[in-house]
A = this chain, B = another copy of it.
């Protein structure tokens, strides 16, 4: 309507810079560094923390800008974090365009919820789409999480959020009417029941295409442990072939993007140490729905250093999990388990694999608690799917372990995934002993996990911690409480230093 007096102005400076890879790891957030005095910052009116749309050819990414007043970065360069670099797929000195990022419309929905409004399905879909698309900065993610926590999600909202998260990524489907799955809510060190449960239920004819994660902050994820026993890096076609022949797989989920927004939200929830029911439910169920599961058993460890701390919290969580799952036709059953101490003996990829093998092979002295938990969960899966009568699942599961069917099935799954492997043993071990006598009153799960990580897990497959005691035992001075396994003297030293200054990881009463 209104033009400059007789003149039309064209952009005299295209907002283009040369890409520079900085190798900066930021987890997900894309970051770009530009000189404060570069022509793009000036012409676009950009300031530090501005959200900037970077584009190179067909690709683009929204990044957070930090300005630089220092000539280690040239005036014509845009320094990219790995997240930005990988999304743009450029080479050093390639031209990239930088402009003010467009408004992220779904942030208005987040603000609406902050001001007391509930959100409908459309709103959750647009929020989750923007999160999965990398369009939220970390402070936006934190705000969304807090807004859904301080004013808790109702069942309808949990359902909308779950659906939006499931739909934001890949969807799997299986040529089977009944697809079983399991999930443990809240990491308990050594709770590596999955390979055993999969072997049991598949040996009894159920379909269980299990995708698992690698460790993010824990000493081992199921995929890390399984990788010491067989290849887990299967593409979707390979996964399908394994499931077609054996009825099950135990694969790393990295080949498929199930509920990608969940990974982004979990990172921020972890940093904030906020974990509310609504987000937990959407996180767990969206992945199961996207994975094409029809039945799921959920392991809820309850204990003072576990994620779920009381029976009451576990009961409310169970009810809501089952209700939201039901809205998607997903049959869910929750099993409350003891979350007071680590499970089995080994903590770390290979150490846990040895425990898994011992249970599957019925070795004398196999960790009883790990076997019992696997039987409990496999039994629940058998009952939930109608393969066993109510109350008869555990006996059926135990029988499949006892008579070697589960072990035979496990070996066939490993062969189908590329061949069975022998988990390694660490070259260095050092026992950690008690100084005084008394009854072992508690074990701090979090400190044991940290110790295993300092020893090198999960990067060093054989590294970790081997536990020798359980809560309730009487301890005598000089008794070995645990053994640290490491592949390098430096890591063994780090772990021993940590143990020396964290003696309270074991509580010994008189």
Interface residues of A (CB under 8 A from B): 1-5, 7-12, 21-27, 31, 33, 36, 42-43, 45, 47-49, 66-70, 72, 81-82, 107, 111, 113-116, 137-143, 145-147, 149-152, 217, 267-268, 271-274, 276, 430-436, 450, 453-454, 478, 481, 490, 493-494, 496-497, 499-500, 503-504, 506, 508
- List, in ascending order, chain B residues with CB within 8 A of A490's CB: 12, 42
| Candidates B143, B217, B273; contact of A142 at CB < 8 Å | B143
Report the nearest B residue to A508, measured CB to CB. Answer: B1
**Distance in angstroms between the alpha carbons of A82 and B68 in the assembled complex:** 9
Docked pose: A504 CA to B137 CA in angstroms: 29
A208 to chain B, nearest CB (A): 32
Q: How far apart are the CA atoms of A150 and B110 in the complex, in Å?
A: 10
Residues of B contacting A493 in the complex (Cβ-Cβ under 8 angstroms): 9, 12
7 contacts between A and B (CB under 8 A): A4-B496, A21-B70, A107-B272, A114-B149, A114-B274, A115-B276, A149-B150
Closest CB-CB distance, A510 to chain B, in whole Å? 11
Docked CA distance A113–B151 (Å): 10
In the bound complex, residues from chain B placing their C-beta under 8 Å from that of A274 are: 111, 114, 143
Chain B, Cβ-Cβ closest to A494 = B43
Task: Determine the distance from Cα of A274 to Cα of B115 in the docked complex, in whole angstroms.
Answer: 9
B contact residues around A481 at 8 Å (CB): 2
A36 and B45 form a contact (CB under 8 A): no
For residue A70, which residues in chain B have a CB less than 8 angstroms away from its CB? 21-24
Across the interface, name the chain B residue whose C-beta is closest to A275: B111
Which of B5, B49, B137 is close to A433, meaning CB atoms less than 8 Å apart? Answer: B5
Q: Which of A21, A24, A82, A107 has the most CB of B within 10 A?
A: A24
Going nearest first, the 3 A-B pairs with the smallest beta carbon separation are A23-B70, A146-B146, A150-B150
Partner of A27, one of B48, B143, B149: B48
CA distance A414 to B152 in the complex (A): 55
User: In the assembled complex, how far is the CB of residue A105 from the closest CB belonging to chain B, in whole angstroms?
Assistant: 12
Question: What residues of chain B lie closer than 8 Å to A508, measured between beta carbons?
Answer: 1-2
Nearest CB in chain B: distance from A441 CB, A: 11
Which residue of chain B has its CB nearest to the CB of A438? B1
A7-B496, A12-B493, A25-B67 given; 18 more Cβ-contact pairs under 8 Å? A3-B500, A9-B496, A23-B70, A24-B66, A24-B70, A25-B36, A27-B48, A31-B66, A47-B217, A107-B273, A114-B150, A116-B150, A139-B142, A140-B272, A142-B143, A142-B146, A143-B145, A149-B150
Q: How far is the CA of A483 from the CA of B17 in the complex (A)?
A: 32
Task: Evaluate contact between B5 and A45: CB separation under 8 angstroms.
Answer: no
- Asked whether, in the complex, the Cβ of A499 is within 8 Å of the Cβ of B4, the reply is yes
